[in-house]
């Protein structure tokens, strides 16, 4: 795997957040796109299920952002998410995602957001010894163990489907 020498600023921001949490994770920028879970799995050489999708939703009553860290193969059941969050859930648009995370869609990481975000972690991710998440840009990723996700946002581990 080729690791470029200097990270782009968004990827560097994620690396700094990881380091600040005391996690040993290292952000790498790949030559191929990691913009979607499918592309990331191909570029990394892991299964799509081992990719962490960092998905932003919006509480329709409060307007607050909700982060779901989902296995690449799973779809979020918005009705159940709404029950867990205590309000109906809607989709977030690109501007909303950038405003609340500080990152653009395709590179949204599970850590290092502009403000803390209520987080739900897909229990299916816990079965893997290593998983990979986006690191700020559509080519940047980092490897982690599922337990690290909990240290990032103190998210609840739930079944998201």
Binding stretches for ligand 5CA (CB under 6 A): 34-37, 40, 51, 53-55, 92-94, 105-108, 133-134, 141
Considering the complex, what minimum distance in angstroms separates the CB of residue 36 from ligand 5CA? 5
Ramachandran sector of residue 29 (left: φ over 0; alpha: ψ -120 to 50; beta: rest): beta
> Which of 98/151 has CB closer to ligand 5CA?
98
Q: Residues 60, 98: contact at Cβ < 8 Å?
A: no
Per-residue burial over 114-130, b if 16 or more Cβ lie within 10 Å, else e, is eeebbbbbbbbbeebee
Minimum CB–partner distance for residue 159 and ligand 5CA (Å): 18
The total of other beta-carbon atoms located within 10 Å of residue 156's CB is 12
Q: Which is nearer to ligand 5CA, 14 or 37 (CB)?
A: 37
Smallest distance from the beta carbon of 8 to ligand 5CA, in angstroms?
14
Q: Closer CB to ligand 5CA, residue 10 or residue 54?
A: 54
63/59 Cα distance (integer angstroms): 5
Q: Taking the complex as a whole, how short is the minimal distance between the CB of residue 24 and ligand 5CA, in angstroms? A: 19
Is 77 in contact with 118 (CB distance < 8 Å)?
no
Nearer to ligand 5CA, 143 or 151 (CB): 143
């Amino acid at each position: 795997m080729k690791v470029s020498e200097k990270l782009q600023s968004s990827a560097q921001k994620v690396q700094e957040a990881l380091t600040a949490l005391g996690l040993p994770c290292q952000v790498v920028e790949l030559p191929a796109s990691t913009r979607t879970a499918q592309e990331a799995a191909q570029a990394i050489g892991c299964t799509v299920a081992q990719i962490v999708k960092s998905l932003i939703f919006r509480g329709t009553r409060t307007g607050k952002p909700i982060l779901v860290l989902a296995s690449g193969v799973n779809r979020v059941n918005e009705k159940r998410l709404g029950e867990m969050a205590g309000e109906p859930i809607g989709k977030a648009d690109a501007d909303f995602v950038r405003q609340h995370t500080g990152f653009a869609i395709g590179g949204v990481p599970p850590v290092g957001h502009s403000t803390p975000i209520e987080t739900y972690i897909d229990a299916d991710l816990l079965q893997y010894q290593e998983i990979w998440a986006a690191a700020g840009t559509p080519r940047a990723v980092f490897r982690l163990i599922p337990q690290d996700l909990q240290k990032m946002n103190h998210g609840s581990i739930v079944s998201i489907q």
